[in-house]
Structure 1
Amino acid sequence: MNIKALDAVNAYSSALKNQGIAGPDEKIEKISPVGSAEAEGSASFGAILKESLSDAADSIAKSESVGIEALNKQADLVDVVTHVQNAEMVLETVVAVRDKVIAAYQDIIKMPI
């Protein structure tokens, strides 16, 4: 693995921890079926996906605003570089997840009925 892949894995892991989902090293105590009454209180996959995408959009928007602040000499160059790298890592993670979803969909389509 290269460094960018490790950064993406770390970003994905921290996103899971922020969502309250156990990481690969943590033990998941109980998983309830999607249609059960217990699952209604927890966040659905769609809600988690929507929140993750809005967080990605917020990160990219923040890097843009810090860049504009730097042009107006209101922000430091280090802050600009940090926010741009963060936005790049988030975008690469989103693209990697999208590619995996498309690959999984293609695998499902290829399954015999």
Structure 2
Amino acid sequence: MNIKQLDAVNAYSQATKQMQPGGLGARDGADGVKADSAFGALVDQAVGDVQKATTTAEVTSAKALVDQADMVDVVTAVSNAEMVVDTVISVRDKVISAYNDILKMPI
């Protein structure tokens, strides 16, 4: 892993912690405003999908180590996790690109 990957892992970890019940959301704070939006729900779902897929891949890999799972299952679970993460990264990149385009617009 290089530094950029570690930074990404840490950022996703912090985002996941903030999305847990009782954690602070993006707009939670002193003003007491809770950010409940369709985009927020989409982000919650995407992070949940990533967590579920990576957990499934880890469990399947662990089962394969003790001969309780076939290698085909491991490869399928890891490929699925990779696809889910790649999808979330693509959406993130598009959102950042759109945000940069908005910043470039004249007022």
- Shared fold (TM-score, shorter chain, > 0.5): yes
CA RMSD of aligned residues (A): 1.2
Q: TM-score, normalised by structure 1?
A: 0.59
The answer on whether the counterparts of 2:49 and 2:84 sit within 8 Å (CA) in structure 1 is: no
Identical pairs, percent: 52
Unaligned runs of 5+ in 2: 1-36
Q: Distance in 2 between matches of 1:112 and 1:61?
A: 45
Higher RCO, 1 or 2 (CA under 8 Å, sep at least 6)?
1
Q: Distance in 2 between matches of 1:46 and 1:83?
A: 27
Q: Distance in 2 between matches of 1:100 and 1:49?
A: 13
Q: Distance in 1 between matches of 2:87 and 2:41?
A: 18
Q: 2:38 aligns with which of 40, 44, 54?
A: 44
Q: Distance in 2 between matches of 1:95 and 1:56?
A: 11
**Which residue does 2:50 correspond to in 1?**
56
Q: How many residues were matched structurally?
A: 71
**Which residue does 1:72 correspond to in 2?**
66
Q: TM-score, normalised by structure 2?
A: 0.62
Unaligned runs of 5+ in 1: 1-42
**Which residue does 1:101 correspond to in 2?**
95
